[in-house]
A = this chain, B = another copy of it.
Amino acid sequence: MHVLVVGSTRGTGNLVVRALLDRGHGVRAMVRSPEQGSALEERGATAVRGDLEGSLGGVVAGVDAVAFCAGSGSQTGPDATLRVDLHGAVRVIDACVEAGVGRFVLLSSIAADDPMRGSAAIRHYLAAMHARDRILSASGLAATIVRPGGLTHDPGTGEVEVGIPVLGARGSIPRADVAAVMVGCLERDDTIGATFELVSGRTPIGAALDQVASSLS
- Give chain A's interface residues, CB within 8 Å of chain B: 77-83, 86-87, 90-91, 115-116, 123-125, 127-128, 130-132, 134-135, 138
Q: With the chains together, A82 CA to B134 CA distance in Å?
A: 15
Which 6 A-B pairs rank lowest in CB-CB distance, beginning with the nearest?
A87-B127, A82-B124, A78-B78, A79-B124, A138-B138, A78-B79
A to B CB contacts below 8 Å, 20 in the list: A78-B124, A79-B124, A82-B82, A82-B123, A82-B124, A82-B128, A83-B123, A83-B124, A83-B127, A86-B127, A86-B128, A86-B131, A87-B115, A87-B123, A87-B124, A87-B127, A87-B130, A87-B131, A131-B135, A138-B138
**CB-based nearest B residue for A134:** B135
Chain A interface SS verdict (over half)? helix
